[in-house]
């Protein structure tokens, strides 16, 4: 059985990879879940080069059963889940009047329903001292008309995170969301590595349900 395990759903080259490296450097085994099989393979190879044990699982937040299957695979492989990071989201550049309702529903599946599914599937495998993290965004607090879909998604995941925090607090399982008030980009104050540092800090301090990340990152 692994010592500690982090599951990252929506594992891409930005926040997902930076979080994988940060937690891996702290002794975690890493399970990466993403639709892109070739990218997953590349990420695992890079993590292995850094001495980090990593598992690639092809899956999509578009399908709840795919999320559940990924969680089952992680449990069967490692025997535990200590941190769940839900980082999947969609980004669509459309005004409200331009949005197709079916596409909008699909976006919400990825942005928040997949998160609910991941939480429900993982929580039963998590013990006291575990953590559930949801990547949030400032658009959930200050929506932009051109980015209505992700604005609604981030507002919803913020509400979900706060509710999960309330539900799990008595079980000594931490749940929280990191509200990122800017666009994530390398070599900026909103670099993935800086955000990953804050995500790890959340699991160490285990206090507030919502943390914010600004140019000068303060919780």
What's the Cα-to-Cα distance from 36 to each of 42, 57, 59, 148, rounded to whole Å? 10, 10, 8, 25
Q: What's the confidence (pLDDT) of residue 187?
A: 81
5-213: which CATH topology?
Rossmann fold (3.40.50)
Instruction: Name residues whose C-beta falls within 8 Å of residue 76's C-beta, 6 or more positions apart in sequence.
Output: none
Position 218 scores a pLDDT of 43
pLDDT of residue 77: 97
Domain ranges in the chain are 5-213
Q: CA end-to-end span of the chain, whole Å?
A: 34
pLDDT at 3: 86
Q: What is the rounded CA–CA span in Å between residue 1 and residue 73? A: 14
Q: Which residues of the chain have pLDDT under 70?
A: 1-2, 215-219
């Amino acid at each position: 059985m692994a010592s500690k395990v982090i599951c990252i759903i929506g594992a891409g080259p930005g926040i997902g990879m930076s979080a994988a490296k940060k937690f891996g450097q702290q002794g975690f085994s890493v399970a990466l879940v993403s639709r892109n099989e070739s990218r997953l393979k590349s990420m695992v190879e890079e993590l292995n080069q850094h001495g980090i044990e990593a598992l690639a699982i092809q899956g999509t937040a578009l399908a709840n059963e795919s999320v559940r299957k990924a969680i089952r695979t992680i449990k069967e492989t490692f025997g535990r889940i200590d941190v769940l990071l839900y980082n999947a989201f969609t980004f669509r550049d459309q005004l409200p009047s331009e949005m197709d309702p079916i596409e909008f529903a699909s976006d919400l599946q990825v942005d928040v329903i997949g998160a609910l599914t991941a939480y429900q599937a993982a929580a039963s495998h998590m013990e006291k001292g575990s953590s559930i993290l949801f990547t949030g965004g400032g658009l959930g607090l200050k929506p932009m008309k051109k980015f209505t879909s992700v604005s609604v998604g981030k507002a919803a995941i913020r509400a979900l995170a706060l509710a999960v925090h309330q539900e799990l607090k008595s079980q000594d399982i931490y749940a929280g969301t990191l509200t990122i008030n800017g666009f994530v980009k390398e070599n900026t104050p909103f670099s993935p590595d800086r955000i990953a540092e804050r995500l790890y800090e959340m699991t160490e301090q285990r206090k507030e349900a919502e943390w914010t990340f600004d140019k000068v990152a303060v919780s």
